[in-house]
Structure 1
Amino acid sequence: MSSKAKQLPAAASAVPYRWLALIVLALAQFLVILDASIVNIALPTLGSELHLDTNTLSWVITAYVLPFGGLLLLGGRLSDRFGHRRLFILGISGFAAASAAAGLTNSGTWLLASRVVQGASAALLAPAALALVTKLFTDPQDRAKALGIWGAVAGIGSVAGVLLGGVFTSSFGWPSVFFVNVPVGVMVIIATPLLIAKDTSDERTSLDMPGAVTVTGSIVALVAALSIAEQAGWTSPWTLTLAGVAIVLLIAFIFIEKFAKHPLMPLHIFHNKPVLGGNLAMFLIGGATTGLFFALSVYMQQVLHYDAMKAGLTQLPLAGALVVIAGVVPALIKKLGTQRTLATSLILFALGTIWLSFAPSDASFAVHLLGPSIVIGIGMGAAFVAATEWAVHGVADNEAGIASGLVNTSQQIGGAIGLAVLATVSSIRTRDLLSHGVTEPEALTGGFAWVFIGAAVLAVIGAVIVFAVARLSLSQKVMDQSLINQKKWVNCLD
C-alpha cells in the first residue's frame, strides 16, 4: 500500500462501502430506539411470570432509560477520545450480551441489572454510530440522504417497538422481546470491522471526569425524580430532593465546563445556532412522541380492548408513512431548507395529534385512527430527520461524538420529561371526569385526548423555536456580512 493510501482518513478509506456501513450502523440505532418501547406491551405478561408488582415493573423501563440518558454525553466524549468504531463495537457487544441475559433470566433482580447494562451500552454505541455516519458522508447531498435514513430509522424504531412488542409477546412470550436483539447485534459486530475502517488515531487528552460525574448525576437525578413523581407525587420529599440535586449538579457542570482545559461538553458548541436549534427541537419531539405512544398504546388496550397483537398491528400505517417519508425528506430539505422542513413537519405532526384527540371511546380504527396515524407518521418521520441533520450541522470531526451524544440525550431526556408531564395531565383530567360521574371508558378517553393535545402543543412550541433560531441565525449572518463590508471599506480608505 502506498504512503498516500496510508494517510487517507477513516471516512475516505471506507467510501466504497459507506452505504452498506450505513445499514449496519442504522440497524444498531434501530435496536437502541426499539428497546425503549418494545418492552412496554410485554410488561403485563412479564410481571405475571416473574411475580413483579406494578412499582417494580415501572423500573424495567426506568432501569434502561436512566443509564441511557445519563451516560450519553460521556459516551459521546469517550468515542471522540478512544475512537468511534472502537466504542461502537464495545457498545453493541455489551448491548447484545445484556439482551441475552435479560431474556434468559427468571429473576426480577437480574432482569433489572441486565436492563442497566443495556442502557449503559446503548449510551456508548448511539453517539459513536451517529458520529461515524457524519464522518462517512462528507458530501452535503450524500450526508442529507444518510441522515434522512438515520432519522427515519429513529422514528420507525419508536413505532416498531409497539408493533413488534405485541407480535413477539403474543407469539413467543416475553423473553423474545430481548432475544430479538441478539442475532442482529452479532451480525452488526461481525460486519462493522469489514465495512468501516479502523480508527486512525486517539485523542490523548485528559478526560473531564468532574464534568462527566456532575452531568451524569444531574441527568440521572432528573429522570429519577420524574419517574418517582408519577407514583409518589410532584411534591413528595423524594421528588423534590432529587429535582434539587439535579439542578445543583447541572449548575456545577456548567461551571466546570466553563473552566475545564478539556471539557466533556465544550460550551462553545452552542454558539453553533443549528446545534442549539436542533437539540431544542429534538427535546420537544422526544417529549411529544413518547407521550403520544404511551397514551395511544394504553388507549387501544384499556379503552378499545385491543389485545397486544392487534394493538401492535394497528401501528403499521404510522410506520409505513415513516418509511415512505424517509425517501422524500432529503429532497425537501434540499428544496426548502432544513429549518422550513422541520417547522412544517412539526406543524403537520401537531395537526395529526389534534385530529386524534377527537377519537371517541368506541372508536373505529378505519374512521377515527387511520387518518391521524398517517398524518402523524409523516410529520414525525420528517421531524426526526430534519432535527437530526440540523443538530449535527457544521460540527468538527473531533466533536462529532459529543454532538451526536447531545442530540440523543435531548431526545431521551425530552421523552422522560414529556411522558411524566403528559401522563400527569392525563391522570388529572381522568380523575376530574370520573368525579363528575363520567363512565370510566369516557374518562380515560378524555384523559388521553389531553395527552394528544399536549403533544401537539409541544410540537407547535418546537416549530416556534425553529423559526426563532433561524431568525437569529439570519441576523447573525447579516451582522457578520456588515462587519466584513466595513473592513473592506476601511482597507480601501487605507
Structure 2
Amino acid sequence: MSTLDQIPPVTTSPSPDAPAHATPQQGTPATGGPRPPARMTGRQKLVLTLLLGAQFTVAVDFSILNVALPAVGAGLGFSLADLQWIATAFALAAAGFTLLFGRIADLFGRKRLFIGGMTLLGLSSILGGIATSPAMLLVARVLQGLATAAVTPAGLSLLTTSFKEGPLRDKALGLNGALMSAGFTAGAILGGLLTDLLSWRWAFLINAPVAAAVVMLAPSTIADSRPAERARLDLPGAVTVTGGLLTLVYGLTRAGEHGWSDLLTLASLAAGAVLLGSFWLIEKRASAPLVPVQIMKRPSVIWGNVTGLLAFVTETSLVFLLTLYLQNVLGYSPLATGAAFGVLGLGTVIGGTLGGRAVSRLGNRATIVTGGLVQTIATIALVALGSSGGWIWLLLVATFIGGIGNMLMIVGFMVTATSGLPDHEQGLATGLATMTQQVGITMGIPIMSAIATARMNALHTGAAPAVLSGVHTAIIVNSVLVLAATLLAAAFLRSRRSTAA
C-alpha cells in the first residue's frame, strides 16, 4: 500500500471558531516577499480526480432513475402508488446510515470504507440492472443507498485530509460541490437518454464500470488516515441516531404522498424526534460518543449545517417544482425536462468553481451570504412564470443564476462545517455534513409537494392552472427559506478567510 508523502498533513486553527490563516505550503518560504499561489502536486491532482469521480457517480446515481420511474414500473410491474418506494428506499438508507458510516470511517479506516462502498455500489447496480421483480429492485436500491452512505463521508474525509486547511482545500471542496450538484442534473439528463435510447436497466448498469475503475485505482492512489488508538463504537448512539433518521425521513417522505395530517406520518415524525432526543442524551453521557457533544456546540458546526440543510432543501425541491411546471403546465416530455435542467447544471458547475476562490478572498460567511442573496432573487423571479411556452427563457436564466448562488452557499457550508477540526474528527465532520445534505435533499420534496398540493386542492380550476398556482405558492415559500438561511449565516457565522500561501 503506497503512501503520499507529497501530501502535507492537515493543519487546524487554535480555535475552531477563530479566523484561520493558512500556513505556508510545502516548499514555500516562511518569511520574506510575496508567496506564490498554492498549487497541487501531480499526486494530489490524481487523488482529487479519483475522489471527485466517485462523488460524481454517487450524485448521478441519486437522480438517474427519476425520469425513468414510469418505465421501471411498467417493466417490473410496480403499481403507480408504489413507484415512490424506488426513490424512498434509496433515501432511507443513504440518510439513515451516513452519520454512522462517517464515524466508522474515523475508527476503522476511511480508505477501507471508501473502497468497500464503491464495491457495494458496483455490485448493487448490477443487481438493479438485472432485477426481475419489484422486491429485487428495492433490495438493490437499499444497497445503493448504503453504498452512498459509506462512500460520501469517507470520500469527503479523505479529500479534507489530503489537503491542508486553506486555499487548496477550499478549491477541492468547491470542485466537489460543483460536480456533486452537476451530477444530480446530469443524472436526470442521462436517465432520460438511456431510457429512451436503450433501456431503464442501463440507468443501473452504467455505474458498474465506473465503480470498478475506482476500486482498481484507489489502493495505489489514496493514502489512508486513522487514529493511532481505536476507540469503541458507541452502539446505543448508533442505534438511536440511525433509527431516528430512518423514521424521520420515512415520515417526511410519507407526508409528500399522504399529507401532513396522516396518522402514520405524524407517528413517524414523533418517533424520529424522540429517538434523536434520546441520541442527544446518550451522547452527553457516553464514554466514547458517536458524536462528541462539544463538537455540536461549535458555532461553525451548528450554523454551518443549518445553512447547508436549508440550501439543499430549497434547490432540490425547486427542481421538483419546476418539473411539475414543465411537464404539467408546458407539456414537456421527461427527456426535454431533463435537457432544460442542463442550464441549471452549468450554473452549479460555475458556482462550485468560483466557490473555493470566493471563500479564499471573501471568507466563508460573505460567500454564503452572497450566494444566498443571489439564489433568493433568482428563485423569487420564478413567481412570474406563466402558462405559455415563452416563459421557458425566464426559467432557464433564473435557474442558471440561482444555481451559481446555491453552489456558493454549499461550498461555503462545506468549508465552514469541516474547518478548524483535527484530523481524527474529519470523518465525523464530513459525516454530519453529508447527513445534512441527504436529509435536506429528502426533506425538500415532500415539504414543497405538500405546500403545492394544498394550494392545488384549494382551487376549483383546471389541472394546469391549479398546478401553476401551487408551484407559485411553493416557490414563494422556497424563496423565504433561502433568505432565512442567508440571514442566519450573516447573524451567527464567524468569517474565515484563507489566504494563498
Q: Taking structure 2 as the reference length, what is the TM-score of the superposition?
A: 0.89
Cα distance between partner residues in 2 of 1:183 and 1:155: 21
One-letter amino acid of the counterpart of residue 462, structure 2: T
Choose the corresponding residue for 2:464, options 441, 447, 452: 441
Cα distance between partner residues in 1 of 2:393 and 2:253: 35
Cα distance between partner residues in 2 of 1:196 and 1:286: 29
Determine whether 1:127 maps to 2:153. yes
Cα distance between partner residues in 2 of 1:41 and 1:429: 25
Query: Residues 381-460 of structure 1 correspond to what in structure 2 (within 5 A)?
Result: 381-433=407-459, 435=460, 438-460=461-483
Cα distance between partner residues in 2 of 1:338 and 1:253: 30
Determine whether 1:190 maps to 2:248. no
Percent of counterpart pairs with the same letter? 34
In structure 2, the partner of 1:369 is 395
Q: Secondary structure at the residue paired with 1:420?
A: helix
Q: Provide, for residues 107-156 of structure 1, a one-character-per-residue CA deviation record: whole Å limited to 9, x for no partner.
A: 11000011011111111111010001110001511111111111112221
In structure 2, the partner of 1:88 is 114
Cα distance between partner residues in 1 of 2:89 and 2:400: 32
The worse-fitting range, judged by mean Cα deviation, of 421-430 and 23-32 is 23-32
Determine whether 1:261 maps to 2:287. yes
The worse-fitting range, judged by mean Cα deviation, of 195-204 and 142-151 is 195-204
The worse-fitting range, judged by mean Cα deviation, of 78-87 and 138-147 is 138-147
- Offset, 1:26: 1.1
Cα distance between partner residues in 1 of 2:131 and 2:86: 13
Choose the corresponding residue for 1:341, options 367, 383, 386: 367
Q: Taking structure 1 as the reference length, what is the TM-score of the superposition?
A: 0.90
- Offset, 1:241: 1.8
Cα distance between partner residues in 1 of 2:356 and 2:276: 36
Determine whether 1:229 maps to 2:255. yes
Cα distance between partner residues in 2 of 1:334 and 1:200: 28
Cα distance between partner residues in 2 of 1:23 and 1:98: 23
One-letter amino acid of the counterpart of residue 440, structure 1: A
- Offset, 1:175: 1.0
Q: Provide, for residues 53-105 of structure 1, a one-character-per-residue CA deviation record: whole Å limited to 9, x for no partner.
A: 12211100000000110001100000000111111001111011101111111
C-alpha contact (below 8 Å) 2:9/2:161 kept by paired residues: no
Cα distance between partner residues in 1 of 2:382 and 2:200: 30
May I ask how many residue pairs the two structures share in their alignment? 467
Q: Secondary structure at the residue paired with 1:41?
A: coil
Cα distance between partner residues in 2 of 1:388 and 1:363: 38
Name which structure has the greater RCO, CA cutoff 8 Å, separation 6+: 2
Q: Secondary structure at the residue paired with 2:115?
A: helix
Cα distance between partner residues in 1 of 2:196 and 2:233: 46
Q: Provide, for residues 149-179 of structure 1, a one-character-per-residue CA deviation record: whole Å limited to 9, x for no partner.
A: 1111222122222222222221122111111
Return 5+ residue gaps in structure 1 as ranges: 475-494
- The root-mean-square deviation of aligned C-alpha atoms, in Å, is 2.3
In structure 2, the partner of 1:169 is 195
Cα distance between partner residues in 2 of 1:139 and 1:6: 16
The worse-fitting range, judged by mean Cα deviation, of 324-333 and 43-52 is 324-333
Question: In 2 relative to 1, CA 280–230 (structure 1 residues): closer, same or farther, beyond 3 Å?
Answer: same
In structure 2, the partner of 1:486 is none
Return 5+ residue gaps in structure 2 as ranges: 12-25, 27-39, 496-501
Cα distance between partner residues in 1 of 2:393 and 2:8: 57
Q: Secondary structure at the residue paired with 1:128?
A: helix
In structure 1, the partner of 2:338 is 312
Cα distance between partner residues in 2 of 1:294 and 1:304: 15
One-letter amino acid of the counterpart of residue 353, structure 1: T
Instruction: Give the helix-richer structure, 1 or 2.
Output: 1
In structure 1, the partner of 2:85 is 59
Cα distance between partner residues in 2 of 1:6 and 1:371: 43
Cα distance between partner residues in 2 of 1:233 and 1:305: 26
